[in-house]
Amino acid sequence: MNINVKLLDTNAEIYKNILKALLPDIKKYMDSVLDTIKKELPDILSNSIRNSPEYSSLIAGKLRYEFGIPDASSKIIGLINSWSSNINIDYTRPAITGNQIKSKFSVNLVRADFSDVLFTEYAILRDDQRGYDLPWLQWLLLDGDVAIIQNHEIIIGASRYSRTGNAIMRENKGKTWKVPTEFSGTISDNWITRSIENANSEIDSLLQKATKS
């Protein structure tokens, strides 16, 4: 007995139907990938920032005294929470394009110009007694080794006039104050960009973990 089978659909139609059948599973897969990234990436960023020398110095070291930040811990926690919650994932859901299923996503960890945090209460030190605001985070992240205050210097030591109790700025002609070179940063190379760079291996591991789930 001879049996003849004739396919009524063309190869292109069969291929398209296969893609349609696969699409729901691809969507579920991509949703799972992004859920894993959204869940774990903020902690990776936060931990890398906390492990930086800048963080330690701001909390209880040279930078805290140089900037005169009495409530350094609360300001840094506020900044880290802002950066962690502002991570942006740009996602194009899977769709059939031609003879392929295509999807893509990109992750933006922080804004390139830090405009989302520079003007917040965490980035500015308000000295009501002396009547001025100090944009300490801008100095640290963007101003590099530029001289910020002319004819002054920081004197480390206990003082009742100090905001932190252990440093004061005094007038000294010929001296200039700037962010200490070991911590200074520019828009492309600063505390946060270095923290992200130091987290690259963990971020790569997370991406591998997420895409294999």
- Residue 9 pLDDT class (50, 70, 90 cuts): low
Q: Could you give the maximum distance between any two Cα atoms of the chain, in Å?
A: 108
DSSP, collapsed to helix, strand or coil, labels residue 105 as strand
> Taking 60 as the threshold, does the pLDDT of residue 107 lie above it?
yes
pLDDT at 8: 54
Q: How far apart are CA 67 and CA 105, in angstroms?
A: 39
pLDDT at 5: 52
DSSP bridge pairs for 207: none
pTM: 0.85
State the average pLDDT for the chain: 90
